[in-house]
Structure 1
Amino acid sequence: MRTPPRHHITCALATAAALTLPAGCSPPDNRDDPHNTPRTTTTAPAPARKGAVTRDEAKEILARYVSVNNWSNAMQGRSTSPSAQARRLLAAVEGGQLLEQSVADYKTWRTRTVAERKKYAAPFYYVEPVVYVPAGERWFAIEVKVDRTGWKGLLIFDQAGDKGWRNVATVALGDKKSARLPAPVATDRAGLATAVNPTTRSGKLAPNQVADAFEDHFVTGGTGAGQVLASSASTRAALKIYKERNQNKDARVATKSFKQRDARHQQIYALKLRDGSTLAVVPSAHDQHYVLKEEFFLRAKIVPNKEEAVFNPARRIAVIDEFQGMLLAHLPTGGKPRILSHEFRMVDSQ
């Protein structure tokens, strides 16, 4: 998650204009019929559940995603402003929360330095893919490593309304290159994984309760629902933002706070691990409110920073930034749940 945007405020005299600052029938009685003899019937076993794709098909889908993603990033990289063509191209292989973040990256392209644009547009490739296909589901996951950086992550691919496969979530396995899954993914004899219902509790939390627990760190400093989570790099990062929210030179005239909001895409993806625990990829979102104190309404305005100005350049008494993100969480059968990684992006500012 990127550091929350900074603002600056300028004041003007009260007398002047404000300046910059989701029943059947019974059978006949045929006792005299020699053919009316008891028959033994057997019930056919239910057909085995299948995965949405084979491992080879999953790897082909991954390869196509990487190719199109690199193509769209290169296309965007050749421009100094947002490229509608690059965005349409990327939307053919991305969806969900991930696409929301990528679109925000493209929208704020002009605010990046030349070095940042070059790095973003550089091609990347995933190596050592490990495919996890849950039985009876329309999605699958792939554990990967980026060739040039060693970054390790988990990608979720889902079928977007029968329009084809999209990468809808990409999350790091942890905050270090040595990060790995807490336990191997559980598979059956056919090699298929087991999906976990988002409402099924594993230990202290169900997957659909994870976002509330994490967002509580921004909203209250982790004194509410967040108390159930184990300390991790992700929770510590959120707590740092909470604690420092009003530690700046403009704190005397404006306050910063956070409010949880609905994720734009609310699908949760969870897999059972061999030790019985659950690994979940969860959407999460919040708003950052930066508001002038009432006594300064008539003599000051908040000046949006360069990223916020892309969405709304107006100087105003409040700046509300929308952050959309994804979490990777481990829910053990005993002990505290842990947020393994988080990724947020500001996708709007008003």
Structure 2
Amino acid sequence: MHTQKLATTPRADSPRLRRNTARILASVLLLALTACGGSAEEDADGNPGSQTSATPVPDGVLTKAAAKRVVDAYEKTNNQANKIQDEGLLATVEGGQLHEQSKADYAAFDTWPKADQNAYRTAFVYEDREYLIPRQSPNTTWFAVQAKSSYGNGTRTLLFFDKVGSTYKMVMSLYTDNDDALPQIARDRHGLAEAVDPSQQIGQITPTELTAAFQDLYETGGQGEGKELASTDVTKAALKTYRTSEKSGAANGMATVKFFAEEPAHAKVYALRTASGGVLAAFPAAHTRETLLKPAYRSSHHLVPTDRQKALGVGLGQTALLTDEFQGQGLAILSQASARIAEMDLQHVDAR
């Protein structure tokens, strides 16, 4: 799936020997042990195998080679599905919030301008990949990739793949033109990234609380949980939408517009330690927007749905109320000093 931030149209990778005979024998033995345990083998599913060294290298969630195969398979299948908007085919490699957005893209595809349709059908690849593979643990089933997408003239993107059932699928995909949005990720001496428990407090907030904090910007204008968020371009845009809706409503002032926080379709949060000691978190978002005719106009007027609203489910009957659902995914940088939402991709996924 191609994505663009805040859009409702396509978004579209040595021992030394000494002369002494006894030391030579000891070093040869050490070399043999190192050769046995220095790198993980893969099982049939691409998972790291067991180590036999006295000081084993820790296993990642999967090997880099296996991660590459997962991303390659996603590219190939996604490109095939996008050509004909085959949601069932796409679902074999995609899940989570990302797939909620893709399904809506396919449903509304015929309402897009021809140029956007052609761009969406164009095959793409992820280039200059940097694999961010956490250490294997009972609670860590995912890995991430920083890359550039050939779609969008090399826009940088952060991709998250998680196991859905027994299959790795892409569950989040966040694009950015902002260099600060993708800080350097911390790695241990084995090259493994550090996954962070999303319930861990960082400063005044946990990664799991980012969803409610962001949605509060739409629902109350930031009077509740949203107070914990630093001012960024993303939060400013959300607050502008709230204030404009409160003041102007819709239908030339004949209707009110209200936002209500909703549970995301997929609630999982992904977090990585940054080289500076902070946390980079990818989190879900969701809200509904209710457009309601004021009582004085209900006997003489009705709301007219857009082509996209029709494609997403609005019936043909006249109505005084339209409810639009948005599902999203955001990227935040947390430190002891601040919680900054750097990117947000909200998609209009349902209308009723």
TM-score normalized with structure 2 length: 0.80
Partner of 2:199: 199
Q: Distance in 2 between matches of 1:249 and 1:135?
A: 50
Per-residue deviation at 1:2? Answer: 2.7
Provide the secondary structure at the position in 1 that maps to 2:127. Answer: strand
Please tell me whether the aligned partners of residues 152 and 179 of structure 1 are also in contact (alpha carbons under 8 angstroms).
no
- Give 1:261-300 correspondences, 5 Å limit: 261-300=262-301
Provide the secondary structure at the position in 1 that maps to 2:82. Answer: helix
Higher radius of gyration, 1 or 2 = 1
Q: Distance in 2 between matches of 1:138 and 1:317?
A: 46
Distance 1:179 1:331, change over 3 A: closer
Partner of 1:70: 79
* CA shift digits 1:150-184 (9 cap, x unpaired): 2111100011011x110000012x443x45523x2
Partner of 2:12: none
Q: Distance in 2 between matches of 1:175 and 1:336?
A: 21
Partner of 2:210: 210
- Give 1:38-117 correspondences, 5 Å limit: 50-76=59-85, 86-117=86-117
Q: Distance in 1 between matches of 2:83 and 2:213?
A: 38
The residue identity in structure 2 corresponding to 1:157 is F
Q: Distance in 1 between matches of 2:300 and 2:333?
A: 49
Stretches of 4+ moved more than 3 A in 1? Answer: 45-49
Q: Distance in 1 between matches of 2:114 and 2:204?
A: 46
Please tell me whether the aligned partners of residues 250 and 291 of structure 2 are also in contact (alpha carbons under 8 angstroms).
no
Partner of 2:223: 223
- Give 1:163-182 correspondences, 5 Å limit: 164-172=167-175, 174-176=176-178, 178-179=179-180, 181-182=182-183
1:315 aligns with 2:318: yes
- Give 1:150-189 correspondences, 5 Å limit: 150-162=154-166, 164-172=167-175, 174-176=176-178, 178-179=179-180, 181-182=182-183, 184-189=184-189
The residue identity in structure 2 corresponding to 1:156 is F
Q: Distance in 2 between matches of 1:288 and 1:224?
A: 19
Q: Distance in 2 between matches of 1:235 and 1:46?
A: 47
Please tell me whether the aligned partners of residues 181 and 331 of structure 2 are also in contact (alpha carbons under 8 angstroms).
no
The residue identity in structure 2 corresponding to 1:97 is Q
Distance 1:339 1:249, change over 3 A: closer
* Higher RCO (CA-CA < 8 Å; seq separation 6+): 1
Distance 1:121 1:179, change over 3 A: farther
Distance 1:100 1:3, change over 3 A: closer
* CA shift digits 1:287-330 (9 cap, x unpaired): 01101112333322111111111211332111010100001011
Q: Distance in 2 between matches of 1:300 and 1:329?
A: 43
- Give 1:13-28 correspondences, 5 Å limit: none
Bigger proportion of residues as helix: 2
Provide the secondary structure at the position in 2 that maps to 1:108. Answer: helix
Please tell me whether the aligned partners of residues 249 and 256 of structure 2 are also in contact (alpha carbons under 8 angstroms).
no
Provide the secondary structure at the position in 2 that maps to 1:244. Answer: helix
Q: Distance in 2 between matches of 1:196 and 1:180?
A: 18
Please tell me whether the aligned partners of residues 175 and 340 of structure 1 are also in contact (alpha carbons under 8 angstroms).
no
Per-residue deviation at 1:222? Answer: 1.8
Q: Which runs of 5+ in 2 are unaligned?
A: 1-5, 10-53
* CA shift digits 1:126-154 (9 cap, x unpaired): 11100111112211000011135121111
Please tell me whether the aligned partners of residues 57 and 190 of structure 2 are also in contact (alpha carbons under 8 angstroms).
no
Partner of 1:24: none
- Counterpart among 139, 146, 149 of residue 146 in structure 1: 149
Distance 1:48 1:2, change over 3 A: same
Per-residue deviation at 1:49? Answer: 5.0
Partner of 1:2: 7
Provide the secondary structure at the position in 2 that maps to 1:165. Answer: strand
The residue identity in structure 2 corresponding to 1:263 is P
Provide the secondary structure at the position in 2 that maps to 1:302. Answer: coil
Per-residue deviation at 1:186? Answer: 1.6
Distance 1:199 1:175, change over 3 A: same
Identity %: 35
Please tell me whether the aligned partners of residues 186 and 273 of structure 1 are also in contact (alpha carbons under 8 angstroms).
yes
Provide the secondary structure at the position in 1 that maps to 2:208. Answer: helix
* CA shift digits 1:53-106 (9 cap, x unpaired): 111211221111111111111123xxxxxxxxx111111110010001000000
Provide the secondary structure at the position in 1 that maps to 2:324. Answer: strand
Partner of 2:125: 125
The residue identity in structure 2 corresponding to 1:315 is Q
Distance 1:251 1:220, change over 3 A: farther
Per-residue deviation at 1:199? Answer: 0.8
- How many positions carry a matched residue from both structures? 297
